[in-house]
Structure 1
Amino acid sequence: MNARLWLGRIGWMVLIWTLSVAALGVVATLLHYLMRAAGMH
């Protein structure tokens, strides 16, 4: 039971980390395209 609880917690941490990295990638890509559109390249 205790190992299952820890696996669940680690799973949630990995999921949140993955989503946050993906969100940062999306924001960086959007900023890249906005800067290109503004003539900064």
Structure 2
Amino acid sequence: MSDTGEKKPLWQRLAWLALIWSASVLALAAVAGLLRLFMSAAGLGTP
């Protein structure tokens, strides 16, 4: 990472933060959905 002494604008840093956060939430939701799918396929669903 090259540090030339200049920072990116605040809105751009916040946009990256929001993008990374939403990607992690979506990934977690996808993993949870897959686990629910496998558990229901194995007969371990909620009654």
Residue matched to 1:24: 28
**5+ residue gaps, structure 2:** 1-6
Residue matched to 2:4: none
Q: Normalising to structure 2: TM-score of the pair?
A: 0.75
State the identity %: 44
Distance in 2 (CA, whole Å) between partners of 1:18 and 1:29 is 16
Higher helix share: 1
**5+ residue gaps, structure 1:** none
Specify the structure having the higher radius of gyration (Cα): 2
CA RMSD between the two structures: 1.4
